[in-house]
C-alpha cells in the first residue's frame, strides 16, 4: 500500500464534512441546522491551502478548484515542499504544478516533474465529503446533520457569521462508512478491497477523535466564505492504527513504510484553509495534452522518503 497516497486522499477531503447533533446550546444548534438544512451552500469555486509541517519537512498545497456537479470536481495549483538535511545542514526546496480531478469513485492527480507530466489515481472516499458540502438532497443533509456534537455561533460581523463546529467522531464515522460503502459497491473486487482497508483505518481515526472546524458564512447569501480545520489528530490516529496492526502481526510493512507512519503519527501537523472563490469553470480545466500524455507513476515516492527522515533521528 502506498501510504502517502492514502494520506493524500484523507487530507484532501476530511475538512469538508459538515453536520449537527443535539448537545449544543439550543439556540446555536437551531441556527446552525436552519442554515445548513435550508440552503447553506458552498458555491462552485474555491481556493484551498493545505499545510503539512514537521521538524525537517514542510509542504504546502495551494490550489483553485471548481465543483462540477454530481460529486465531480477539478482543481489546479502548486505543491511546494522543503526538506532539511540535518547532517549536511542544507535545505532543499521543490515545487510541482499539478491538476487533480474527481470522477466516479477515483481521484486522479497529475503532477509535472522534470518537465514530464505524471499521474496517479487514488480509489476511494472523497464522494461522501463532496456530498456533505454540495448535496441538495434533504436525506443526505439530514444524515450529516446528525454528526455534530457541539455548535457555537458568533455574532455577525461585516456581513459574515462564524460557526465553531465540533463533530462527534464516532457518529461521523458511521455516517461516512455507509456513504463510502454505497459508493464502492460496484468497484472491482481488488479495488474495493483496497478501498475498504483505507476505510477501516479512517473509521478508527475518526472514532478516536472529535473533529473541530470553523465555518464562516455570508449571512446575506448563506454561502460559505471560509472553512478552516486542524486535522492533526485524525492524521496521527490513522498512522498509529496502521502501526498497531503491524506490531500485532496483522499486516506486514517495510521499514520505510514503518518509518513514514511513525513520522506522521508523532511528529507532523496538518492544517487546512478553504475559501470560496468565484473561479470560472473555464479557468480550472485540465489540458487535453496533460490527460492523454501523462505517465503512470508513483509521484510521491521521493517526498515520502524525505518525510520519514525525522523518525530516524
Predicted local distance difference test score (pLDDT) of residue 70? 65
Confidence band for 312, pLDDT divided at 50, 70 and 90 = low
Mean pLDDT of the chain: 78
Q: For the segment 72-103, what is each residue's pLDDT rounded down to a tens digit?
A: 788 999 999 988 777 777 788 889 999 998 87
Residue 286, pLDDT > 80, answer yes
Tell me the percentage of the chain whose pLDDT exceeds 90.
15
- 282 exposed, middle or buried (CB, 10 Å; 0-12, 13-18, 19+)? exposed
Number of domains in the chain: 1
Pair 118, 295: CB distance under 8 Å: yes
Residue 186, pLDDT > 80, answer no
Residue 160 CB coordination number (10 Å): 14
Residue 22, pLDDT > 50, answer no
Predicted local distance difference test score (pLDDT) of residue 129? 55
Q: For the segment 226-254, what is each residue's pLDDT rounded down to a tens digit?
A: 888 888 998 899 999 999 999 999 999 88
Domain span including residue 263: 3-312
Mean pLDDT computed over 285-306: 83
Q: For the segment 52-75, what is each residue's pLDDT rounded down to a tens digit?
A: 998 888 899 999 988 776 667 889
Confidence band for 153, pLDDT divided at 50, 70 and 90 = confident
Confidence band for 4, pLDDT divided at 50, 70 and 90 = very low
Across 43-70, b (16+ Cβ under 10 Å) vs e yields bbbbbbebebebebbbbbbebbbbbbee
Residue 217 sits at φ, ψ, to 5 deg, of -120, 155
Cα gap 243→250, rounded to integer Å: 10
Q: Give the pTM.
A: 0.80
Residue 7 CB coordination number (10 Å): 23
Say how far residue 46 (Cα) sits from the centre of its chain.
Answer: 14
Residue bearing cell 475538512: 15
Amino acid at each position: 500500500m502506498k501510504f502517502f497516497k492514502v494520506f493524500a486522499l484523507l487530507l484532501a477531503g476530511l475538512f469538508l464534512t459538515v453536520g449537527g447533533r443535539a448537545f449544543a446550546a439550543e439556540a446555536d444548534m437551531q441556527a446552525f441546522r436552519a442554515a445548513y438544512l435550508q440552503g447553506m451552500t458552498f458555491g462552485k469555486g474555491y481556493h484551498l491551502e493545505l499545510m503539512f509541517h514537521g521538524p525537517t519537512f514542510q509542504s504546502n498545497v495551494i490550489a483553485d478548484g471548481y465543483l462540477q456537479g454530481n460529486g465531480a470536481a477539478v482543481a489546479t495549483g502548486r505543491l511546494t515542499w522543503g526538506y532539511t538535511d540535518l547532517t549536511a545542514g542544507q535545505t532543499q526546496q521543490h515545487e510541482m504544478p499539478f491538476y487533480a480531478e474527481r470522477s466516479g469513485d477515483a481521484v486522479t492527480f497529475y503532477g509535472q516533474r522534470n518537465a514530464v507530466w505524471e499521474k496517479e489515481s487514488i480509489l476511494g472516499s472523497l464522494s461522501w465529503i463532496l456530498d456533505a458540502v454540495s448535496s441538495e438532497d434533504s436525506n443526505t443533509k439530514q444524515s450529516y446533520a446528525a454528526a455534530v456534537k457541539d455548535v457555537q455561533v458568533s455574532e455577525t460581523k461585516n456581513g459574515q457569521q462564524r460557526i465553531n463546529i465540533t463533530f462527534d467522531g464516532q457518529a461521523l464515522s458511521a455516517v461516512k462508512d455507509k456513504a463510502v460503502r454505497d459508493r464502492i459497491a460496484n468497484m472491482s473486487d481488488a479495488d474495493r478491497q483496497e478501498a475498504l482497508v483505507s476505510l477501516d483505518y479512517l473509521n478508527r481515526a475518526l472514532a478516536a477523535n472529535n473533529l473541530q472546524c470553523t465555518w464562516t458564512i455570508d449571512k446575506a447569501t448563506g454561502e460559505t466564505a471560509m472553512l478552516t480545520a486542524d486535522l492533526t489528530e485524525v492524521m496521527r490516529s490513522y498512522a498509529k492504527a496502521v502501526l498497531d496492526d503491524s506490531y500485532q502481526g496483522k499486516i506486514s510493512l517495510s521499514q520505510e513504510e514503518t518509518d513514514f507512519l511513525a513520522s506522521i503519527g508523532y511528529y507532523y501537523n496538518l492544517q487546512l484553509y478553504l475559501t470560496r472563490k468565484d473561479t470560472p469553470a473555464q479557468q480550472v480545466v485540465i489540458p487535453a495534452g496533460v490527460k492523454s500524455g501523462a505517465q503512470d507513476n508513483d509521484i510521491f515516492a521521493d517526498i515520502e522518503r524525505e518525510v520519514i527522515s525525522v523518525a530516524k533521528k
